[in-house]
Amino acid sequence: MALEMISLKSPREIEAMRRAGRITAQARALAGSMIRPGVSTHEIDKAVRRFIESHGAKPSFLGYGGFPGSACISVNEEVIHGIPGPRKLREGDVVSVDVGAFIGGFHGDCAGTYPCGQASDEALRLIRVTQQSFWEGMKFARQGCRVSDIGHAVQEYVEANGFSVVRDFVGHGVGAKLHEAPEVRNFGPAGHGPRLQPGMTLAVEPMVCAGDWQVKVLADKWTTVSLDGSLTAHYENSILITDGEPEILTVTEDGAYV
């Protein structure tokens, strides 16, 4: 996408995005705290919606493109866009929760992956690598770098740890719209795409498979699973490009990112 299509946020808009980001991050943390055997994905979704609305915000995902939930809750081989429902979580499940909140004209967008009870060592390693790959990408979320430098760093780290990065879905700009320019891939060569400038706000979201990177969308037209049935993980924050270190916008009041 052309650079002129990318929205550079004003100080007032950035403050509004911090507000949306805090609510979103707190909703993610709430969802994570609820993940335990016997809890249904609908219960988590209901609590997320209640929390977001109690803060005067609206769930960004509810009704977006027809999505029926306030959170995307994806389990095990489900990478993203899992629809909340009666499914009860079981010991050892790997659960990804993606949430968004809209308030004051702006969106926050973040995701995290959590073990349900006692998960396998490999599942825990997948979760850790996915989260750390985001931070590897953040090393290049700086003024003057290019958008693809972030994704290149993500891919290198993930593949060095024996996992693979989903190609069919990517990160994005975020702001007054949930999805804005530019596209933020988690793969590919460095040195491509728009140069990062202060005021850019991006949703960076590595999506990682324990096996092959190929995925498919199920008949519900939302739930996306690994083609080989391998475990998956997802980690995301909304970030602000500054003239120094990038700022995480989806952070709780006590400074937590998960």
206-241 tens-digit pLDDT: 999 999 999 999 999 999 999 999 999 999 999 999
How crowded is residue 38: how many other Cβ atoms within 10 Å of its Cβ?
11
Q: Is the pLDDT of residue 194 over 50?
A: yes
pLDDT digits (tens, 9 = 90+) for 59-110: 999 999 999 999 999 999 999 999 999 999 999 999 999 999 999 999 999 9
CA distance 163 to 256: 26
- The residue that leads in pLDDT, 4 or 18, is 18
- Tell me the CB-side half-sphere exposure of residue 187, using CA atoms within 13 A: 13
Q: Taking a C-beta distance cutoff of 8 angstroms, is the pair 95, 34 a contact? A: no
Domains and CATH numbers, the chain: 3-248 (3.90.230.10)
User: In this predicted structure, what is the pLDDT of residue 181?
Assistant: 97
User: In this predicted structure, what is the pLDDT of residue 257?
Assistant: 84
Helical segments of 35-103, H only:
41-54
pLDDT digits (tens, 9 = 90+) for 128-148: 999 999 999 999 999 999 999
In the numeric block, which tokens belong to residue 22?
């805090």
pLDDT digits (tens, 9 = 90+) for 42-54: 999 999 999 999 9
pTM of the predicted structure, to 2 decimals:
0.97
pLDDT digits (tens, 9 = 90+) for 30-42: 999 999 999 999 9
Given pLDDT bands bounded at 50, 70 and 90, which one contains residue 258? confident
- Would residue 104 be called left, alpha or beta, if left means φ above 0 and alpha means ψ between -120 and 50 degrees? left
CA distance 257 to 131: 10
Q: What share of the chain in percent tops pLDDT 70?
A: 98
Q: Which CA distances in Å does 221 have to 67, 80, 81, 164, 240?
A: 10, 12, 9, 23, 31
CA distance 126 to 177: 31
User: In this predicted structure, what is the pLDDT of residue 54?
Assistant: 98
Q: Which residues contact 47 (CB under 8 A, 6 or more apart)?
A: 30, 31, 34
